[in-house]
Amino acid sequence: MSKGINTQAVLAMRGAGYYSERTAGARHVINDAGTMVIEALAQTPQTPRLRIADYGAADGGTSREMWDMVIGHHRANGDNRQIEMLYTDLASNDFSTLFRMMQGMQGDPGHAYQSRYENVFVHGCGTGFHRQLMADASLNLGFSATAMHYVSVKPMEIPTHLHAACADPESRAAYAQQAAQDWEHILLARAAELIVGGRFICLNFGIDEQGRYLGNTGGQHMFDHFHKYWLGLFEDGSITADEYKRASFAQYYRTMDEFCAPFNDPDSAVRKAGLKLKSCHSKLTKCPYEAAFLAAGGVGGTMSNIDYANSLIPTMRSWSETVFRTALEGRDEDDINQIVNRFYDAYRDDVAANPSGHAMDYVHIILDIEKTA
């Protein structure tokens, strides 16, 4: 691994089910990919048993309905092969919520496929996906949603913003280089794990052909708002210069060209490892919280502005809070809670004052990759 600021011990979605309960958009994105997963699995070799991996699964709640659908489809079609489901995430992830979800002890038991179907074995792996996580040639299908934009280390703190997508050229180049190296490691690890004919489907946050990315799709710019409130806390003396600087997201949104680069070069290690890109396209998923607000008539309709703000901010908070908490490390817990609450309250109050354009649309680059040799 390259030198840089290691964030993996602390990088985690908010636990105890908070993440998946407030992340309807991520669930929609995954559910929409269900058909693609079923079709890909149908084209993989008929091995005696099926092994599937969900990389960067968080608490498992957002993909559970899709896996329930995929497994249900197999069983309904008479495919009774044993299925091993391997959920991967970082060691800091809340795996116990994940295991409870699959056994129907938390969340909607209707999708607790482990208890609904025979011969489905659920496992967890707490090692990051930049490394090989299972034995050579043992994986039928790998899947990952909204996870591989996390870089393995932060190459530097971004001095004037929070996110590489909005950073100065030097910081952006450093994150781009880290992300390119990480993408190669991710792909080489999957090349080792997959059986010949196996598939890797990933739905990654990225930058589309129109330059759009998460929270920046034409309306209010989410990361600029994050930055504004964080800078405000520094300017009013609530946080130190160091804390201001430490809140760089360990993320990089690759462009389509960056995702495709290792596949376009016939001499790349990825091509030599037998991986082939079958398809790559971008997809915009509208913010479900804004959609509900607009369906209720928008401003002046049946949902109040504050109710809209109170539905939107938690979905942003579910994945971003860890960055701000980590930046405040060293303070006592009450202090951290108070500062972080003020940060999100400022955002909520802005949305409530004028909801127009505030939303969190998702932009994904969807790749279907095959291990050919």
Ligand X SMILES: C[S@@+](CC[C@H](N)C(=O)[O-])C[C@H]1O[C@@H](n2cnc3c(N)ncnc32)[C@H](O)[C@@H]1O
**3-state SS record for the chain:** CCCCEECCCCCCCCCCCHHHHCCHHHHHHHHHCHHHHHHHHHHCCCCCCEEEEEECCCCCCCCHHHHHHHHHHHHHCCCCCCEEEEEECCCCCCHHHHHHHHCCCCCCHHHCHHHHCCCEEEEEECCCCCCCCCCCCCEEEEEEECCCCECCEECCCCCCCCCHHHCCHHHHHHHHHHHHHHHHHHHHHHHHHEEEEEEEEEEEEEECCCCCECCECCCCCHHHHHHHHHHHHHHCCCCCHHHHHCCCCCECCEEHHHHHHHHHCCCCHHHHCCEEEEEEEEEEECCHHHHHHHHCCCCCCCCCHHHHHHHHHHHHHHHHHHHHHHHCECECHHHHHHHHHHHHHHHHHHHHHCCCCCCCCEEEEEEEEEECC
Instruction: State the nearest-atom distance from the C-beta of 281 to ligand X, in Å.
Output: 18
Question: By C-alpha distance, which of 320, 259, 235, 345 is closest to 13?
Answer: 320
User: Of 6-14, 211-219, 236-244, 263-271, which part binds ligand X (CB under 6 A)?
Assistant: 6-14
339 binds ligand X (CB under 6 A): no
53 binds ligand X (CB under 6 A): no
The count of other CB atoms within 10 Å of the CB of residue 59 is: 31
Residues of span 257-296 touching ligand X by CB under 6 A: none
Number of residues interacting with ligand X: please give it, by CB under 6 A. Answer: 23
User: Looking at beta carbons only, is 12 or 233 nearer to ligand X?
Assistant: 12
Applying CB under 6 A, among 33, 41, 57, 167 the residue interacting with ligand X is 57
What is the x/- site pattern for ligand X, positions 291-320, by CB under 6 A? ----------------------------x-
User: Of 104-112, 142-150, 162-170, 334-342, which part binds ligand X (CB under 6 A)?
Assistant: 142-150
Instruction: State the nearest-atom distance from the C-beta of 89 to ligand X, in Å.
Output: 4
Distance between CA atoms of 66 and 254, rounded to whole angstroms?
A: 25
User: Looking at beta carbons only, is 88 or 178 nearer to ligand X?
Assistant: 88
User: Looking at beta carbons only, is 58 or 275 nearer to ligand X?
Assistant: 58
Instruction: State the nearest-atom distance from the C-beta of 94 to ligand X, in Å.
Output: 9
User: Of 11-19, 34-42, 236-244, 252-260, which part binds ligand X (CB under 6 A)?
Assistant: 11-19
Judge residue 354's burial from the number of C-beta atoms within 10 Å of its C-beta, 0-12 exposed, 13-18 middle, 19 or more buried. exposed
User: Of 88-96, 164-172, 233-241, 271-279, which part binds ligand X (CB under 6 A)?
Assistant: 88-96
322 binds ligand X (CB under 6 A): no
Instruction: State the nearest-atom distance from the C-beta of 175 to ligand X, in Å.
Output: 14
Distance between CA atoms of 268 and 65, rounded to whole angstroms?
A: 36
Distance between CA atoms of 90 and 192, rounded to whole angstroms?
A: 20
12 binds ligand X (CB under 6 A): yes
Applying CB under 6 A, among 97, 140, 146, 217 the residue interacting with ligand X is 146
Residues of span 16-45 touching ligand X by CB under 6 A: 23, 26, 30
Applying CB under 6 A, among 50, 70, 141, 145 the residue interacting with ligand X is 145
187 binds ligand X (CB under 6 A): no
Distance between CA atoms of 257 and 149, rounded to whole angstroms?
A: 15
Instruction: State the nearest-atom distance from the C-beta of 149 to ligand X, in Å.
Output: 8
Instruction: State the nearest-atom distance from the C-beta of 341 to ligand X, in Å.
Output: 21
Applying CB under 6 A, among 13, 141, 202, 207 the residue interacting with ligand X is 13
What value does the CA radius of gyration of the chain take, rounded to a whole number of Å?
A: 21
Applying CB under 6 A, among 67, 150, 263, 308 the residue interacting with ligand X is 150
Instruction: State the nearest-atom distance from the C-beta of 70 to ligand X, in Å.
Output: 15
What is the x/- site pattern for ligand X, positions 102-141, by CB under 6 A? --------------------------xxx-----------
Which residues contribute to the site for ligand X (CB under 6 A)?
A: 11-13, 23, 26, 30, 56-58, 62, 88-90, 93, 128-130, 145-147, 150, 152, 319
